Amino acid sequence: DFEKALEEVKPAFGAATDSLKSYCMHGIVNCGETFDHLQQTLRTLVNQVQVSEKTPLLTCLLEGPSGSGKSALAASVALESDFPFIKVISSENMVGFSEQAKSSQITKVFEDAYRSPLSVIILDDIERLLEYVSIGPRFSNIVLQTLLVLVKKMPKDGKKLLVIGTTSQGDVLESMGLSEVFNVSLHVPALRVEEIVRVVRSLEVFGLRDIPEAVEALTSTASKLVPIKKLLLWIELAKQGLAEDQKIPIPRWKQVLSDLS
Amino acid sequence: DFEKALEEVKPAFGAATDSLKSYCMHGIVNCGETFDHLQQTLRTLVNQVQVSEKTPLLTCLLEGPSGSGKSALAASVALESDFPFIKVISSENMVGFSEQAKSSQITKVFEDAYRSPLSVIILDDIERLLEYVSIGPRFSNIVLQTLLVLVKKMPKDGKKLLVIGTTSQGDVLESMGLSEVFNVSLHVPALRVEEIVRVVRSLEVFGLRDIPEAVEALTSTASKLVPIKKLLLWIELAKQGLAEDQKIPIPRWKQVLSDLS
Amino acid sequence: DFEKALEEVKPAFGAATDSLKSYCMHGIVNCGETFDHLQQTLRTLVNQVQVSEKTPLLTCLLEGPSGSGKSALAASVALESDFPFIKVISSENMVGFSEQAKSSQITKVFEDAYRSPLSVIILDDIERLLEYVSIGPRFSNIVLQTLLVLVKKMPKDGKKLLVIGTTSQGDVLESMGLSEVFNVSLHVPALRVEEIVRVVRSLEVFGLRDIPEAVEALTSTASKLVPIKKLLLWIELAKQGLAEDQKIPIPRWKQVLSDLS
Amino acid sequence: DFEKALEEVKPAFGAATDSLKSYCMHGIVNCGETFDHLQQTLRTLVNQVQVSEKTPLLTCLLEGPSGSGKSALAASVALESDFPFIKVISSENMVGFSEQAKSSQITKVFEDAYRSPLSVIILDDIERLLEYVSIGPRFSNIVLQTLLVLVKKMPKDGKKLLVIGTTSQGDVLESMGLSEVFNVSLHVPALRVEEIVRVVRSLEVFGLRDIPEAVEALTSTASKLVPIKKLLLWIELAKQGLAEDQKIPIPRWKQVLSDLS
Amino acid sequence: DFEKALEEVKPAFGAATDSLKSYCMHGIVNCGETFDHLQQTLRTLVNQVQVSEKTPLLTCLLEGPSGSGKSALAASVALESDFPFIKVISSENMVGFSEQAKSSQITKVFEDAYRSPLSVIILDDIERLLEYVSIGPRFSNIVLQTLLVLVKKMPKDGKKLLVIGTTSQGDVLESMGLSEVFNVSLHVPALRVEEIVRVVRSLEVFGLRDIPEAVEALTSTASKLVPIKKLLLWIELAKQGLAEDQKIPIPRWKQVLSDLS
Amino acid sequence: DFEKALEEVKPAFGAATDSLKSYCMHGIVNCGETFDHLQQTLRTLVNQVQVSEKTPLLTCLLEGPSGSGKSALAASVALESDFPFIKVISSENMVGFSEQAKSSQITKVFEDAYRSPLSVIILDDIERLLEYVSIGPRFSNIVLQTLLVLVKKMPKDGKKLLVIGTTSQGDVLESMGLSEVFNVSLHVPALRVEEIVRVVRSLEVFGLRDIPEAVEALTSTASKLVPIKKLLLWIELAKQGLAEDQKIPIPRWKQVLSDLS
Ligand SMILES: Nc1ncnc2c1ncn2[C@@H]1O[C@H](COP(=O)(O)OP(=O)(O)OP(=O)(O)O)[C@@H](O)[C@H]1O
Ligand SMILES: Nc1ncnc2c1ncn2[C@@H]1O[C@H](COP(=O)(O)OP(=O)(O)OP(=O)(O)O)[C@@H](O)[C@H]1O
Ligand SMILES: Nc1ncnc2c1ncn2[C@@H]1O[C@H](COP(=O)(O)OP(=O)(O)OP(=O)(O)O)[C@@H](O)[C@H]1O
Ligand SMILES: Nc1ncnc2c1ncn2[C@@H]1O[C@H](COP(=O)(O)OP(=O)(O)OP(=O)(O)O)[C@@H](O)[C@H]1O
Ligand SMILES: Nc1ncnc2c1ncn2[C@@H]1O[C@H](COP(=O)(O)OP(=O)(O)OP(=O)(O)O)[C@@H](O)[C@H]1O
Ligand SMILES: Nc1ncnc2c1ncn2[C@@H]1O[C@H](COP(=O)(O)OP(=O)(O)OP(=O)(O)O)[C@@H](O)[C@H]1O
Ligand SMILES: [Mg+2]
Ligand SMILES: [Mg+2]
Ligand SMILES: [Mg+2]
Ligand SMILES: [Mg+2]
Ligand SMILES: [Mg+2]
Ligand SMILES: [Mg+2]
């Protein structure tokens, strides 16, 4: 049974790395201090799990608005940890599963982790795993109870585990008592004006002089706070039909913002 | 398995085109700038999916009152895209299916699309797919969660996908968090007076001099805003018994409006 | 399969006509202009479906208080249409069916209709098909969703279909979004004083001079508006023990009203 | 199949009569005009069903407080009708049945009735058949919908049916729309002072002079209105240990009322 | 089948007596008039069932705060009745049963009783049989409906039955309509100061002079009204480590009350 | 069957002891009088069960904020009791079990205990066993009813049982009526300032002079009351990278508190 278990663990590992990379599809752009500090804190946790005997389990929740970069952040830290067992639990791989099947799948990943000396599990988009919808509200209590127990359950026999969860419904998880079972809770914000400037500058998509007007156009159409994922998408749409190294003209940028945002 | 998959994809394609055409049964009448602009925006998205490497997935929601032309708009743009995989997901083909069966059917269409290089999926009348009713409210959370995940899930390996959804319950989808997962949200309005005039003029169903009175009769019986689908139906009913090229007399028009609207 | 389908359609037809006739058990008494106009409007719809190519589907909802004559009206118009496929969908033939079974049964009737060139389907007592009860409220969402889709679904290949629904819970169907999917909505009222007079006169059950007092007794006991079905029942009860051609004495009429209404 | 049906009907008949008799265990004491009038009205309905061709179905609801004599009234009228098919539908014979089983059982009785020329069905304690409880409220919608349809469904082919329902929750049935489907609704009240006097007098359980004090003691302990069933029980308890023809002493009567009511 | 039934009844009987005795584990201490009167009333009911032909069924509900002695009271009266069939229906013997299984089990006991000439059934802790919880509230409607019917159902053929129910949720049973179906409802109170004094005196656990202070300590820590069951437990805890005939010192008594109540 | 039962009991015992020890992973630090008193009270109960014939069952609920040391307290007292049967019922061993399976598992443990002369059962984290979530609220009524019965059920034949429950949702258990069925209810608080000082002093992790500032930093970042479990975790995190006997520098301590709490 142990040999079979090992077999099951190995191939999962390779696939996980691929899938982790796809979470950072647009790379990790330098967004400034806030993001650096978040990354640093996560690295501290990785380290702590690895070295301390008295903390066989550490759990951290990344919470912030939709598209703020939570999944990419979790994935990038997990990738650089080089732990022998890394796995993402995502609803994308469980479409159409029954609540019970989701619960079993999640449990199976944790049990695999308990057999590896050093593991990272990413619980991505926890509100989706919970099948949460605010009308009602409705959600899978079976999956919720599974998470409430597993996020607190210590690995035995010196095995070690880091759990990173992501959610854009921090207050909902709070009211379910799920935030509370995580050791640490970190807020991943959308970009503020200074950070937007920094990002568009490093991407070199606007003429240098156009940047203030481009950012002004953006924050006045949408809102003061812009998630990095949306910013990158709008830039992509605005670049349609332009040559590789051509800058985005301001009128075109405004057109895209008014039509598509 | 791959060969079988290809087989499954092909025949589906032929049927889809037929069904798409039936969505535009009354043709696409020129309704003025608003509609032209909507069509243009959708074409931009078709183009973006086709050319850009960084946007393997684009998703757009058409939202507006009942009969405003959402399905016809989506179908006409999909038809002219000439993408190799085009499919409509409609509750008309899933009458009596269980929630699970609907969810599987929807998932299957997306999985077929992930195997085609370039695809369009139309999610027609999303509130019907969700079995939504405002009393309660009730709806299928299984189908909702399936959509919440699939509308965000990236095709792998360079495959590309455009998803167009239609709904007459924009606010409901908003409160379910389903509007938010679409990249773009477009409003398809009912016709205003100027647009009604333009439509009846181009259809040549009234005597030229009767048009003001006909439109006045219409907007005072029903409301200032008239969905194109209803307008076309009432014209059809008013034409009953008239010769092919005969104009609709105003009294008859008023009779139809008072009896049947 | 097609032959078998034809076989299934034929016998159903004969039975349907019988059952339609039983809906008009007390005949159609002349109740005045309102009822004539309703009948006329329904006949227009029958005609439209028959002749116009562009309206393969017309749908009409008859809504009004309990016993106002909705089912009899729908049945009499359907009978005189002489369409080759006429069918009543009534909960009387589905007692004890599960929600799924009801939904399948309804779907089957529509599918049979799609195979016939010209069809009428009567959805009788829609609130009963929906298993509606105002406490809760509760109803079968499976049946509701089936109706929401089928009442909008176009027959293919030039087949034509008229759907007539009846309900005494117009506002409930409104709030379910079911009224909206019907092309036309008609109100079938209870009888007003003038109409009651006309009915009892043509039935010749009271002495001519007694009519005013009889009607006065009726509207003061019950209410100003009396459904035709109740009126006919009370007359029947008052005639108990009288000779065939004997008129109902006023005291007996008052006794019946006070004891049994 | 028809022969088998006949077989099923016959034995049921014998048992029903026994069970009907047990409903009148304490006999029918003369309670005064109100009760005589109720009995008379029910007899009129029995007669109407028997003689008129145009009323193949009559339905009557007896509604009133717990223990007021509804079941005994229904049973006694049914017994004296001498109809060839008489059946009581009571939850006492369906303890532990599922909702579906109850619904089938009820439907079966009605179908048996449709095969008999002249039938009475008693729906006893309808709120119990519905498994009604005011907390929630909860009830079996399956059974409710079955009743809503069957109480309105006409027997075919000249068969005739009288349905008598009893309930102590008239307002609940009202709000379920179930009262409305009955042709006639009759109120069976608890006993007022004059009626109590009449009952205890005819039972000869108190000394003649003691009656006023006995009745006074009763209505002041309990309430002004006393259901016949409770009155008969308390008399029974008070007679414990007395000789057959001994009158109940007033102190003993008061003791019983204060200890046991 | 009858022989088999008899077999089933007999062994049940023996076990029941044992289980009845365990309900009175701490014996029946003399608690004063209130309790004597309750016992006397129950004995009257036992007698009535035994002798009167017209009351084949009597039903009595004992209602009062948790631990007030309801079960012990019911059990002691049942034991001394010497009826040939005595049975306790308790959730202790149905842990983990489904609602249906509980309902069947309860029904089975009643059916066994209908075959015995003279029976007592104790429905112990009815709120537990109903799986009641005030959040919601939730409860088993299946079990409730079973009780609502069985508590009213008369044994046939001269068989006789006394049903005693106990509950600490009198108001809940009231709102379920369950109190109402019992013929008699009796309140079993917690002990008042005089009764506490009487109990501790007869148990001889305190020095005679200490009694006032002991009772004062008790009623000031807990409340003016103390259930007999709790009183007996605290005395037991306070006696820990003392010799059999040693009195409880007041300081120890106070310690126990402050630590453990 | 009895032999098999014994076999099942024995191995369970060994495992339980291991699992009990893991509950006290960080040992039991001296936290001051409050905790000593709690421990003392629990020992009294252990003793009482062991010696008194009249208390075959004692039940105690430990209630207090998350991480206050309830499980460790229960486990340590159970371990030192040296009872032949000790078992923890924890949701950690029932992840993914259905409600029924959980209920059976719990029942099985109690039944095993009823066969052992002297037993302790720990019901750990009762709100998790109940699958409680405050949204709704939702919980397993099946498990709740099982606990409501088992916590009150006396072992037979002189067998003895101590039940210790733990929960961080005391008020919820109160409103479910579950607190009430325990004989004793004890509050396990988070640490107050004096107690925090005592703990950090005995752990020797700060320089003696730094203690006031360290405690001040802690209570101002988090709250006046700190659960022992969190305190121990933060100390562990702050010690990362320090030599075994090195004290935690205040700035580092503040950094950890601001980043990770
Ligand atoms: N500094 C950064 N941090 C995070 N993501 C970044 C950064 N720079 C660029 N990105 C890109 O931004 C995108 C962030 O999207 P991501 O899916 O991680 O957001 P999210 O918060 O998980 O969104 P959702 O709420 O929809 O799950 C990724 O494509 C990532 O490659
Ligand atoms: N410019 C136009 N845009 C859209 N539809 C048009 C236009 N001109 C004519 N039509 C016709 O109007 C009808 C629009 O109906 P369609 O079913 O698309 O509306 P819808 O908004 O999807 O309605 P529903 O809310 O009921 O789904 C179609 O029959 C179409 O052929
Ligand atoms: N002009 C008329 N229109 C309709 N019904 C008439 C007319 N004259 C006589 N009737 C008789 O009146 C009765 C009307 O009952 P019907 O069942 O159609 O009413 P309904 O509105 O469908 O009632 P319900 O709300 O109970 O379904 C029938 O028996 C019919 O024969
Ligand atoms: N005039 C009378 N009318 C009705 N019942 C009478 C009359 N005289 C005596 N009784 C007796 O009174 C009792 C009435 O009880 P019955 O069960 O009919 O009441 P109920 O209203 O059906 O009660 P429940 O609401 O509990 O069903 C019967 O035992 C019957 O024999
Ligand atoms: N006079 C008395 N009446 C009742 N019980 C007594 C009396 N004297 C002593 N007892 C003892 O008091 C205890 C009463 O507990 P019992 O279980 O009957 O209470 P209860 O009201 O049924 O409690 P619960 O609400 O928990 O079911 C028994 O152990 C019984 O032996
Ligand atoms: N005096 C003490 N009392 C209790 N626990 C202590 C004490 N000293 C140290 N500890 C340690 O503190 C931790 C307390 O955690 P424990 O799991 O018992 O808390 P809990 O209240 O059960 O938390 P939860 O609400 O999460 O179940 C254990 O690791 C234990 O070893
Ligand atoms: Mg994410
Ligand atoms: Mg549409
Ligand atoms: Mg009708
Ligand atoms: Mg009755
Ligand atoms: Mg009890
Ligand atoms: Mg704990």
Cα(C215)–Cα(C228) distance, rounded to whole angstroms? 13
Contact C219, C193 (CB under 8 A): yes
**Predicted pLDDT at B11:** 41
CA triplet C1, C2, C5: central angle to 5 degrees? 90
Which residue in chain B has the smallest CA separation from C152? B92
DSSP code for D21: H
Closest ligand 1 atom to Cα of A228: 12
Interface test with E, best of D70, D98, D141, D240 (most E CBs within 10 A): D240
- Cβ–Cβ gap A260/B183 under 8 Å: yes
DSSP string, E80-133: HH--SEEEEE-GGG-TT--HHHHHHHHHHHHHHHHTSSEEEEEE-SHHHHTT-B
Q: What is the pLDDT of residues C17-62, one digit of tens each?
A: 777 888 877 788 989 899 999 999 999 999 999 998 889 999 999 9
CA triplet B63, B66, B67: central angle to 5 degrees? 105
Q: Give Cα separations from B103 to A94, A98, B109, B143, E135 (angstroms).
A: 12, 11, 10, 5, 34
Q: What is the pLDDT of residues A36-80, one digit of tens each?
A: 999 999 999 999 999 988 899 999 999 999 999 999 999 999 999
Nearest by Cα to A69 from A161, A199, A177, A258: A199
Residue A115: strand, helix, or coil: coil
> How many other C-beta atoms can be found within 10 angstroms of the C-beta atom of residue D112?
19
**Mean predicted confidence (pLDDT) in F35-55:** 94
Could you say which residues of chain E have pLDDT below 70? 1-16
Cα(C244)–Cα(D3) distance, rounded to whole angstroms? 37
Chains D and B make contact, 3+ CB pairs within 8 Å: no
**Predicted pLDDT at B150:** 98
Tokens of E120: 């007592």
Percent residues over pLDDT 90 in chain D: 81
Considering Cα of C197, then C203, then C208, then C209, what sign does the dihedral take?
Answer: negative
Nearest by Cα to E52 from C212, F222, C136, D234: D234
Nearest by Cα to C29 from C198, C189, C188: C198
- Cβ–Cβ gap C47/B96 under 8 Å: no
Cα(D72)–Cα(C186) distance, rounded to whole angstroms? 46
Closest ligand to C-alpha of residue F183 is 5
**Predicted pLDDT at A11:** 42
Q: pTM for this structure?
A: 0.94
Determine the residue of E20, E23, E28, E124 to mutate for testing ligand 5's pocket, defined as the one with the most ligand atoms within 8 A of the Cβ atom: E28
**Predicted pLDDT at C11:** 42
Q: What is the pLDDT of residues D52-104, one digit of tens each?
A: 888 999 999 999 999 999 999 999 999 999 999 999 999 999 999 999 999 99
CA triplet D41, D42, D47: central angle to 5 degrees? 95
Nearest by Cα to A73 from A92, A48, A103, A46: A46
**Predicted pLDDT at D11:** 41
- Cβ–Cβ gap A133/B177 under 8 Å: yes
The rounded Å distance from CA A67 to ligand 1 centre is 6
Closest ligand 2 atom to Cα of B72: 18
* Pocket lining for ligand 6, CB < 6 angstroms: F 24-29, 31, 35, 66-73, 125, 166, 168, 228-229, 232
Cα(C200)–Cα(B37) distance, rounded to whole angstroms? 63
Contact B63, B189 (CB under 8 A): no
Tokens of D150: 């069957």
Residues around ligand 8, an ion, CB closer than 5 A? B 71
A162 pocket-lining for ligand 1 (C-beta < 6 Å): no
Contacts of F156 in chain E (CB under 8 A): 22
B245 to chain A, closest Cα gap in Å: 41
pLDDT at B46 over 50: yes
Q: What is the pLDDT of residues F124-164, one digit of tens each?
A: 999 999 999 999 999 999 999 999 999 999 999 899 999 99
**Predicted pLDDT at F16:** 66
A30 φ, ψ (degrees, to nearest 5):
-70, 115
Cα(B157)–Cα(B115) distance, rounded to whole angstroms? 9
Tokens of D229: 């069933």
Cα(A246)–Cα(A248) distance, rounded to whole angstroms? 7
**Average model confidence (pLDDT) across chain A:** 91
DSSP code for C243: -
Cα(E49)–Cα(D74) distance, rounded to whole angstroms? 28
Residues around ligand 12, an ion, CB closer than 5 A? F 71
Q: What is the pLDDT of residues C67-81, one digit of tens each?
A: 999 999 999 999 999
Q: What is the pLDDT of residues A154-202, one digit of tens each?
A: 999 899 999 999 999 999 999 999 999 999 999 999 999 999 999 999 9
- Chains A and B form CB pairs within 8 A to the count of 65
First to last CA, chain D: 53
A35 pocket-lining for ligand 1 (C-beta < 6 Å): yes
Cα(F137)–Cα(F169) distance, rounded to whole angstroms? 13
Cα(B110)–Cα(B89) distance, rounded to whole angstroms? 10
Using a CB–CB cut-off of 8 Å, the residues of C that contact B are 41, 44, 47-48, 51-52, 54-55, 100, 103-104, 107, 137, 139, 141-142, 144-146, 148-150, 152-154, 156, 175-177, 180, 183-184
Closest ligand to C-alpha of residue D24 is 4
Sole residue written with tokens 């405003």:
B68
Q: What is the pLDDT of residues D17-32, one digit of tens each?
A: 777 888 877 788 989 8
- Between C93 and A223, the higher pLDDT residue: C93
Contacts of C90 (CB under 8 A, 6+ apart): C19, C122, C124, C125, C128, C129
- Between F8 and A21, the higher pLDDT residue: A21
Which residue in chain F has the smallest CA separation from E257? F184
Type of residue numbered A26: H
C66 pocket-lining for ligand 3 (C-beta < 6 Å): yes
DSSP code for F94: -
Sheet holding F57-63, edge to edge: F85-89, F118-123, F160-167, F57-63, F184-187
Nearest by Cα to F134 from B155, A177, E229, B232: A177
Chains A and F make contact, 3+ CB pairs within 8 Å: yes
Determine the residue of A71, A73, A186 to mutate for testing ligand 1's pocket, defined as the one with the most ligand atoms within 8 A of the Cβ atom: A71
What band does D15 get if pLDDT is binned at 50, 70 and 90?
low
Chains C and D make contact, 3+ CB pairs within 8 Å: yes
Strand partners, B61: B165, B185
Strand partners, B86: B120
Going by their DSSP bridges, the two strands F85-89 and D160-167 should be labelled as unpaired
What band does B221 get if pLDDT is binned at 50, 70 and 90?
confident
The rounded Å distance from CA F26 to ligand 6 centre is 8
E61 to chain F, closest Cα gap in Å: 21
- Between C2 and A242, the higher pLDDT residue: A242
C125 pocket-lining for ligand 3 (C-beta < 6 Å): yes
Neighbours of chain B (3+ CB pairs under 8 A): A, C
Q: What is the pLDDT of residues C207-218, one digit of tens each?
A: 999 999 999 999
Going by their DSSP bridges, the two strands E57-63 and A118-123 should be labelled as unpaired
* Pocket lining for ligand 2, CB < 6 angstroms: B 24-29, 31, 35, 66-73, 125, 166, 168, 228-229, 232
What band does B19 get if pLDDT is binned at 50, 70 and 90?
confident
D77 φ, ψ (degrees, to nearest 5):
-65, -40
Closest ligand 2 atom to Cα of B24: 31
Q: What is the pLDDT of residues D106-144, one digit of tens each?
A: 999 999 999 999 999 999 999 999 999 999 999 999 999
Nearest by Cα to A60 from A48, A159, A52: A48
For residue F88, the number of C-alpha atoms closer than 13 Å in the C-beta half-sphere is: 27
Contact D57, D217 (CB under 8 A): no
Sole residue written with tokens 């709490």:
F261
Determine the residue of A20, A23, A28 to mutate for testing ligand 1's pocket, defined as the one with the most ligand atoms within 8 A of the Cβ atom: A28
**Predicted pLDDT at E16:** 66
